[in-house]
Amino acid sequence: MAKESQERNQIALDYGPVQTAIDELTGTFGSRLSVSSDVRERFGKDESFHPSIPPDAVIAAHSTEEVSDIVRVCARHRVPVIPYGTGTSLEGHVAALHGGICINLLEMNDVLTVHAEDLDVVVQPGVTRKQLNHYLRDTGLFFPIDPGADASIGGMAACRASGTNAVRYGTMRENVLAMTVVLADGRVVRTSKRARKSAAGYDLTRLFVGSEGTLGVITEITLRLYGIPESITAAVCTFPDVDAAVDTVITTIQCGIPVARIELLDDVQIDAINRYSKTELEVAPTLLLEFHGSEQSAAEQAEMVQELALDNGGSNFQWTSNTEERNRLWQARHDAAYACKALQPGGTIWATDVCVPISRLAECIRETREDIEASKLIAPIVGHVGDGNFHLGLIVNHDDPEEQARAEALHERMVMRALAMDGTCTGEHGIGYGKLDFLIAEHGDAVSVMRSIKNALDPHHIMNPGKIVRH
Amino acid sequence: MAKESQERNQIALDYGPVQTAIDELTGTFGSRLSVSSDVRERFGKDESFHPSIPPDAVIAAHSTEEVSDIVRVCARHRVPVIPYGTGTSLEGHVAALHGGICINLLEMNDVLTVHAEDLDVVVQPGVTRKQLNHYLRDTGLFFPIDPGADASIGGMAACRASGTNAVRYGTMRENVLAMTVVLADGRVVRTSKRARKSAAGYDLTRLFVGSEGTLGVITEITLRLYGIPESITAAVCTFPDVDAAVDTVITTIQCGIPVARIELLDDVQIDAINRYSKTELEVAPTLLLEFHGSEQSAAEQAEMVQELALDNGGSNFQWTSNTEERNRLWQARHDAAYACKALQPGGTIWATDVCVPISRLAECIRETREDIEASKLIAPIVGHVGDGNFHLGLIVNHDDPEEQARAEALHERMVMRALAMDGTCTGEHGIGYGKLDFLIAEHGDAVSVMRSIKNALDPHHIMNPGKIVRH
């Protein structure tokens, strides 16, 4: 399906003379504009299996004004603009499907203002989440969203990232307070003031969060921050089957226990970790949990979940608030991605995700696992199960057309299964150009509303064209 | 400013023959369509001081299909469509500025499906929040958003309502999972599936939340629910001045204490309550708090806040988890609106709100109080201070042009003060047609983005015209 979309999007469109734009921009940006094939190749590729589709030039921008200047030139010549952060996206978000100018935002990496009393911070888009938390280390505050990769805040906002502790702290949707955005005609707007809530007009902040660069370039972001919890307690527990683990999750959420992270690793994933990390973890569906709060409340949460886990046949429940021990308990989770990669050195990992209402999660995972087995493919499962979100790390040799076809069919069935359960085709990876058809399967006529918005704000489709919405 | 907007919006536009639409719809809806002047008068008015501007007809719709039928007829004849819930809005949201058909949604009041395991519920738009919580009473779940009035869920979604416990549970922005919306051409779309999170395309749910009926009519809403906390603890505390109270709030939020409600009543408000309720509360800035959690954690939260309050000069800290005692402690808050009304029986209450970053809240309230005094007006202050949101209950005799002008000038200064502090012109009441100019003052060029969206989704401005975005 991904391939098909790609082809459809490679139909030539009414774009203008990119070389004229490049010549004009070279005058302004000098050596910060690169047309070298190495650089272009690198900036046309994200972390997914999608191939590099290089832009015609890459420019490192240093300010909102510079981004605006670049977009104005591109708008005048009808040349595509592709924003680039760390390239850690997973659905080909940065591929230059129609050529054009890639704006490298990674050098716009200043933390501009920390408002400690307001629990917010203003950053440039190239600041990465680790850089931000390092910067904040002496303030007692932290930014919780953790999609795994050390992604840029701009990219995380553009892709509506979430990750392990969204169950407690929400996703980028809930944690971006305001943004500065360069529109398709080069105008600069701010989506919102810095108040915690507002009922003033359409929610432009939420419109740009998750727009994947297709409506504008995000050049400044105001984020919510949180006090570092007094105590962080980690726990781990194994279960006889995935259903028992998921039932524990459902009850935990329903009891209102404010768990900070709750991750499921299936037995295939645990087995992969044992092989990779030379550990001897019990090969069984495993929940890893983290609790934030006062020492008392974090401990209380852990005890309550332990009880729920035991009721569901869980065993080997361990918990600790000691930092070193905590890291040991969670090591398996940190090794999951590497362990996947090590499973079949020749193959690539096709990382994909869906998200379903939690009541359907056990069923969705069970059927998907049966399908993986029937498809004779290897695909460990890791899930942010508190949100109903899970990932496949599908190991595929993309050079083997038959295996590729089997993987695509499995993938399609997984997405359609999630949709049939009132779930979404992606909980956190986004659409890029890899899931265009699934977006239509999910939203139906509502995609036409998205298209109307795209056409209104970017009438010539110069902003990251071919992503989310087709021409 | 409000008056000026009203006049500007009453310029005749290119709308079609409303009588033709009424005749056509009478054929379908019979006695459910009313053109009686009493009914029209009632449906053209909300709870604010804005006068009734009656629609040409009112139709009670019973299904999404019926709403779609009405909108199709109106679209064909270019006749305005105004959705109506309980009419508890505060900025003239339901005024038929250009005439047209009012769709009364209050008879679409079924709770459709409770998904207890998923902690969500699907409702029709006419269900009120009290009705919903009554319906849920045996499930152990509740819907927390409480804007004061027993508003309809459809209206709350359309106006991005929040209220006293948004500090813990968020606003309608965070608590609507999905909606069914009838678009300006009568097409029906669903904004999202029922998964907790999604990265699939533009966030249509958040676009329609807070759109005040200007982009479509909301006919079905999926809401998040929460487990009723094991323990609810209430607390009250007085402070020497507003700054001390607000400082306590800031520290509470910064310490990550998950307070469920934190309300400020200023001394003017307390005095009004004493007069109205014959109580002898200490006339001083007062915080009312509520803590949700296990018995242990709710008590722990109360103790922690007590300590912070004492550090800030707070006194007379009382707290309890006993239901009856709790209601007694919070009685003052419940009486606040009535006490305001009783202050000057001849006057009307102009209820307005702004919201600022919490670090500026004390300053904003202090300057506003000084301004009220200098303006020789009476205006008690109540604030959802955990969010930086506060309300004036401005008592004005609208028949006295001089007093009205003084009130308008005070109001304008309050809003501009909030904007200068990086706040918003409304935290939860919305724009309607009362704050159109302030929306522009707040958003500047970003209003043109809103206008582009409006024009794209409702090219003939038939959906609640004159609200949020001018023609």
For chain A, which domains are there?
Answer: 2-106+450-457 (3.30.43.10), 111-227 (3.30.465.10), 231-420 (3.40.462.10)
Mean pLDDT computed over every residue of chain B: 94
- Expressed in percent and rounded to 5, the helix, strand and coil fractions of chain B are 40, 20, 40
Q: Do A207 and B206 touch (CB under 8 A)?
A: yes
Q: How far apart are CA B104 and CA A464, in angstroms?
A: 42
Q: Considering the entire predicted model, what is its pTM? A: 0.95
Tell me if residue A328 falls in helix, strand or coil. Answer: helix
Q: How far is CA A223 from CA A469, B57, B128, in A?
A: 27, 46, 33
Give residue-wise pLDDT tens across range B243-268.
999 999 989 988 889 999 999 999 99
- Among the listed residues B355, B360, B441, B2, the one whose alpha carbon sits nearest the alpha carbon of residue A198: B355
Q: How far apart are CA A439 and CA A431, in angstroms?
A: 7
Q: Shortest CB distance from B456 goes to which of A443, A446, A453?
A: A453
- In A, which residues are within 8 Å of B355 by CB distance? 195-198
For B223-236, give the DSSP string.
Answer: EE-EEPPSEEEEEE
Instruction: Retrieve residue A346's tokens.
Output: 């020749």
Q: What are phi and psi of B317, to 5 degrees?
A: -75, 120
The reported pLDDT for the residue numbered B13 is 64
Measured between CA atoms, the residue of chain A closest to residue B299 is: A297
Q: Do A427 and B195 touch (CB under 8 A)?
A: yes
Pairing relationship of beta strands B57-60 and B101-104 according to DSSP bridges:
parallel
Q: Shortest CB distance from A203 goes to which of B166, B191, B207?
A: B207
Q: Shortest CB distance from A173 goes to which of B203, B388, B427?
A: B203
Measured between CA atoms, the residue of chain B closest to residue A428 is: B199
Residue of A89, A156, A202 to mutate for B, most B C-beta atoms under 10 A: A202
Measured between CA atoms, the residue of chain B closest to residue A225 is: B254
If one counts every other C-beta atom within 10 angstroms of the C-beta of residue B335, the result is 18
Q: Do A468 and B428 touch (CB under 8 A)?
A: no
Q: How far apart are CA B325 and CA A182, in angstroms?
A: 54
- In B, which residues are within 8 Å of A159 by CB distance? 199
Q: Do B197 and A438 touch (CB under 8 A)?
A: no
Q: How far is CA A210 from CA B12, B258, B316, in A?
A: 39, 28, 48
- One digit per residue, pLDDT tens: chain A, 471 residues? 344 444 444 444 689 999 999 999 999 999 999 999 999 999 999 999 899 999 999 999 999 999 999 999 999 999 999 999 999 999 999 999 999 999 999 999 999 999 999 999 999 999 999 999 999 999 999 999 999 999 999 999 999 999 999 999 999 999 999 999 999 999 999 999 999 999 999 999 999 999 999 999 999 999 999 999 999 999 999 999 999 999 999 899 888 899 999 999 999 999 999 999 898 999 999 999 999 998 988 999 999 999 999 999 999 999 999 999 998 888 888 888 889 888 877 778 899 999 999 999 999 999 999 999 999 999 999 999 999 999 999 999 988 999 999 999 999 999 999 999 999 999 999 999 999 999 999 999 999 999 999 999 999 999 999 999 987
Pairing relationship of beta strands B348-355 and B389-396 according to DSSP bridges:
antiparallel
Amino acid at A103: I
Q: Do A120 and B258 touch (CB under 8 A)?
A: no
For B111, the enclosing helix (H) or strand (E) is: strand B111-115
Q: Is ipTM over 0.85?
A: yes
Q: Do A425 and B227 touch (CB under 8 A)?
A: no
For B327, the enclosing helix (H) or strand (E) is: helix B323-343
Q: How far apart are CA B463 and CA B471, in angstroms?
A: 12
Beta strands in B163-305 (DSSP E): 176-183, 188-190, 216-224, 226-227, 231-238, 261-265, 286-293
Residue of A196, A230, A251 to mutate for B, most B C-beta atoms under 10 A: A196
Residue of A249, A449, A450, A467 to mutate for B, most B C-beta atoms under 10 A: A449
- In A, which residues are within 8 Å of B174 by CB distance? 170, 174
